[in-house]
Amino acid sequence: METMFWDKRNETMGRPALEALQLKRLQSTVRRLARRVPFYQEKFAERGLKPADIRTLADAQKLPFTTNADLRASYPKGLVAVGPESLARLHTSSGTTGKPKALFFSRRDVGNAADLMARCLTMTGVTRQDVLQNMMTYGLFTGALVMHYGAEKVGCLVIPAGPGNSEKQLLLMQDFRSTVLHITPSYALYFAGFLESKGIDPRRDLALRKAFVGAEPYTEETRRKIERTLGVEVYNSYGLSEMSGPGVAFECAQKRGMHLWEDNYLLEIVDPKSGQPLPDGQRGELVLTTLCREAMPILRYRTRDITAVIARPCACGRTHRRIDRITGRSDDMLIVRGVNIYPQQIEQVLMAIPEVGRNYVIQLEGLDEMTVRVELAEGGFDGQVSRLARLREEIGARLRAEILTKPKVELAPPGSLPVSEGKAKRVIDTRKL
């Protein structure tokens, strides 16, 4: 497939020019922060750091990290670098605990985020002919709005459906012939089950071609399952509110890692414990610095997302490096009976078993008891109880091989486990340890 570009000059810029641009933008960001933002002024003073000390991109390592806790502590004012007259939009990100984070955009920031999103969409072959059904949550969450603005910029017909209400989603898809979905992996799996229960074959009855799937971690197995059951090509979409939401990194038609727009973000991978930089190819925590943000620039944000840089050139011709699928967050590792487990390991095992359906929950309770509750696939139960017992055994054994501890496995009827409208809650931990 011939690749299309939204902004060919910037997307294919040679590495030396791209890095020179990054340095120029980094220096100007640091200068502005040193003039305007007390939080960074203090951090620079602690280190005896002056903007003039940033002479090369490697000097970025002299800059302080910004953490989730720093952003929470700055709520509700945010780490704003412009006057109130320049603020155009507020988003907040709540995460799971405590105070939210306030994230401000200027008019230029809003336009810029839409522009990066437009690059992403065009990169996958979306054009103004497409009808994009946006099934992410609208509101304070960045996910839906940034995609919405980007898709409008490309010239798509955008349907601001929001998540949930599958009956209505289906009607919209049928009546307006939606070709592209923007959706979380958990809702995509759920929705595929809904279509099946309605006797709808998406390849025969709908016009869907692509789905942009993100906002939560998911595995290759889940991607394949969504592709198979919704009859679409799935493109991985990565972003976070702190970095203006979706459109930070996105898969091209090669679908081998996500191009991260390096003219807008400085990309580092660090050891999550020591904070020391790791070489390309090694997995670690993604750290991002905004290079173009006006209202609220952020230096070296500790995303807590675990990934690796793919530095080899991509066949699509883009020079911006790719990041690998996010395999989890540095803070979502579970420790069960002394064993380190990432929820993604469990998902990978479950989604590769054909009899397993679309939803699962990991429950931790009591004194370190782990139960994995799994929905059966539609039509996966033929009434034979012995089949169920065998399946439970098999799931238990496969999980044990992957996570080195054998959880209790419970099978549940299709569609019976709770689905959330926003991000899925896969882990329920009520342990008293």
| Residue 326 binds ligand AMP, judged by CB under 6 A | yes
How far apart CA 197 and CA 167 sit, in angstroms, is: 11
* Shortest CB 315 distance to ligand AMP, Å: 21
Q: Which stretch binds Zn ion (CB under 5 A): 102-110, 246-254, 285-293, 366-374?
A: 246-254
**Interaction residues for ligand AMP, span 75-134 (CB under 6 A):** 93
| Residue 170 binds Zn ion, judged by CB under 5 A | no
The pair of structure tokens assigned to 286 is 């993604």
Pick from 59, 196, 205, 216: which binds ligand AMP (CB under 6 A)?
216
Q: Residue 38: which region, alpha, beta or left (left: phi > 0; alpha: psi -120 to 50)?
A: alpha
Cβ-based neighbour number of residue 291 at 10 Å: 21
First to last CA, the chain: 54
Q: Residue 91: which region, alpha, beta or left (left: phi > 0; alpha: psi -120 to 50)?
A: beta
List the single partner that 190 binds among Zn ion, ligand AMP, none, CB under 5 to 8 Å by kind: none
| Residue 345 binds ligand AMP, judged by CB under 6 A | no
Residues 6+ apart with CB under 8 A from 94: 100, 101, 140
Q: What does the per-residue mask of binding to ligand AMP show for 221-260, with x meaning CB under 6 A?
A: ---------------xxxxxx---x---------------
| Residue 356 binds Zn ion, judged by CB under 5 A | no
* Shortest CB 351 distance to ligand AMP, Å: 15
* Shortest CB 158 distance to ligand AMP, Å: 19
Q: Which stretch binds ligand AMP (CB under 6 A): 153-161, 173-181, 209-217, 269-277?
A: 209-217
| Residue 3 binds ligand AMP, judged by CB under 6 A | no
| Residue 217 binds ligand AMP, judged by CB under 6 A | yes
Q: What does the per-residue mask of binding to Zn ion show for 265-304, with x meaning CB under 5 A?
A: ----------------------------------------
The pair of structure tokens assigned to 188 is 């995509």
Backbone phi and psi for residue 311, each to the nearest 5 degrees, phi listed first: -90, -20
The pair of structure tokens assigned to 385 is 């109880």
How far apart CA 344 and CA 350 sit, in angstroms, is: 10
* Shortest CB 318 distance to Zn ion, Å: 5
| Residue 344 binds ligand AMP, judged by CB under 6 A | no
How far apart CA 171 and CA 276 sit, in angstroms, is: 51
Q: Which stretch binds Zn ion (CB under 5 A): 88-96, 233-241, 302-310, 315-323?
A: 315-323
Helix (H, G, I), strand (E, B), or coil: what is residue 183?
strand
Strands (E) in 279-413, as ranges, are: 284-290, 301-307, 309-310, 322-323, 334-336, 339-341, 356-365, 369-376, 408-412
Q: Which stretch binds Zn ion (CB under 5 A): 170-178, 291-299, 307-315, 331-339?
A: 307-315
**Interaction residues for ligand AMP, span 153-192 (CB under 6 A):** none
List the single partner that 241 binds among ligand AMP, Zn ion, none, CB under 5 to 8 Å by kind: ligand AMP
List the single partner that 329 binds among Zn ion, ligand AMP, none, CB under 5 to 8 Å by kind: ligand AMP
Specify the residue, 68 or 254, whose C-beta has the smaller distance to Zn ion: 254
| Residue 214 binds ligand AMP, judged by CB under 6 A | yes
List the single partner that 238 binds among Zn ion, ligand AMP, none, CB under 5 to 8 Å by kind: ligand AMP
Cα four-point dihedral sign 362, 332, 182, 75: positive
Pick from 82, 156, 158, 215: which binds ligand AMP (CB under 6 A)?
215
| Residue 252 binds Zn ion, judged by CB under 5 A | yes
Residues 6+ apart with CB under 8 A from 407: 336, 362, 370, 371, 372, 396, 399
| Residue 310 binds ligand AMP, judged by CB under 6 A | no
Residues 6+ apart with CB under 8 A from 287: 65, 267, 268, 269, 270, 300, 301, 302, 303
**Strand arrangement, sheet containing 180-183:** 157-159, 131-134, 180-183, 210-214, 233-240, 245-251, 258-260, 322-323, 309-310
* Shortest CB 321 distance to Zn ion, Å: 10
Specify the residue, 329 or 377, whose C-beta has the smaller distance to ligand AMP: 329
What secondary structure letter does DSSP report for 99? S
Residues 6+ apart with CB under 8 A from 81: 32, 33, 36, 37, 294, 295, 296, 297
| Residue 316 binds Zn ion, judged by CB under 5 A | yes
Name the site residues for ligand AMP (rule: CB under 6 A). 93, 141-143, 214-217, 236-241, 245, 303, 305, 326, 329
Name the site residues for Zn ion (rule: CB under 5 A). 252, 254, 314, 316, 318
